[in-house]
Amino acid sequence: MMDWFVNPFVQNDFMLRALTAGVLVSVSAAIVGTFMVLRGLAFIGDALSHGVLPGIAAAILLNIPGILGAAAGAAVMIGGISLITQRSRLSSDTAIGLLFVGMLALGVVIVSRSTAFTGDLVRILFGEVLGISQSAILIQLAATLAVAITAVICYRPFLLLCFNPEQAQVSGFSVRLYHNIMLALIALTVIVSFQTVGTLLVFGMLLAPAAAGALIARRIGAMMAWAALFGSVSVYAGLLASYHFNTAAGSTIVLIATLIFFAVFFIRTARPAPTHTAESGH
């Protein structure tokens, strides 16, 4: 019986590489996703995960690494959002929405005008976790370390931004600076992780494990730990199901992460609400 759970990773190097890359994605997504959930930045996470599409498509047409195109797309997204919110009365949600639909539409236009995306489009949208290379794993490791180190250094201002932005300003922290650093971490996670789970699914890895962790834990560190655990379990179970049942690996991983969230949600909400007795004074 244990062979069913272990052999796919022991006997196949590509499965072991996929598991390694997926766990690294889970750790970086747990750190960034926790701050994203607590700050209510899910919309911009979704926008960035889709907004990098034209950059990746252009990179493929120019025969340069897709990760560079993703970085360019994310830079345009963040720069455009900042420009609109600073120079107009429009809200950040409006700016994000405009850039989101505009960049996504541009990506579709680029793809539709070329026949070079026959196989690449599926890889862009859903990743190629089973074909991940050693060099891509090293890039993912470097990005995960960068995210973790930045989160440790910026922990206090990030914490204040999540719960009391006014206090962050009073404490001498630049709200705009640390907000932009947080956006940069989201962008970095999206840029690097698209190679593993694709642009359509990276948002699920950012959101579902972190949201499940937020339902369980009260401290940020514990939320991140739970999110990393849920993400890693999703990667392992998703790869295993993909191997045995011939399903799309990236989609299966994100589906399991979402199912874990709902399992945690229903377990937490199924508990009866505490009742107050007469002795309690209520």
Q: What is the pLDDT of residues 58-84, one digit of tens each?
A: 888 888 888 899 999 999 999 998 899
pLDDT of residue 277: 43
Distance CA 185, CA 225 (A): 18
Domain of 147? 2-266
User: What average pLDDT does the segment 12-27 reach?
Assistant: 94
Q: Which residue has the tokens 């300003």?
A: 169
Whether 273 maps to a domain, the answer reads: no
Distance CA 260, CA 231 (A): 9
How crowded is residue 85: how many other Cβ atoms within 10 Å of its Cβ?
A: 16
User: What average pLDDT does the segment 132-149 reach?
Assistant: 94
3-state secondary structure 131-159: HCCHHHHHHHHHHHHHHHHHHHHCHHHHH
Comparing 275 with 53, which gets the higher pLDDT? Answer: 53
Instruction: Please give the mean pLDDT across all residues of the chain.
Output: 88
Whether 282 maps to a domain, the answer reads: no
> How many domains does the chain contain in total?
1
Q: Which residue has the tokens 């589906």?
A: 255
Whether 278 maps to a domain, the answer reads: no
Whether 272 maps to a domain, the answer reads: no
Q: Look at the alpha carbons of 255, 51, 178, 25 in this order and tell me if their dihedral is positive or negative.
A: positive
Q: Which residue has the tokens 């890693």?
A: 232
Whether 8 maps to a domain, the answer reads: yes
Q: Which residue has the tokens 């859903």?
A: 126
Whether 143 maps to a domain, the answer reads: yes
95 to 51, 53, 125, 191, 194: CA distances (angstroms)? 13, 18, 24, 20, 23
Q: What is the CATH number of the domain that holds 101?
A: 1.10.3470.10
- pLDDT > 70 fraction of the chain, expressed in percent and rounded: 92
The tally of CA atoms less than 13 A away on the side-chain side of residue 255 is 12
How crowded is residue 214: how many other Cβ atoms within 10 Å of its Cβ?
A: 20
Confidence label for 112 from pLDDT (cuts 50, 70 and 90):
confident
**Contact between residue 35 and residue 182 where contact means Cβ atoms under 8 Å apart:** yes
Whether 146 maps to a domain, the answer reads: yes
Q: Assess whether pLDDT exceeds 60 at residue 103.
A: yes
Which is nearest to 184 in space by CA: 211, 156, 226, 154? 154
Whether 81 maps to a domain, the answer reads: yes
Distance CA 206, CA 213 (A): 12
DSSP state of 172: T
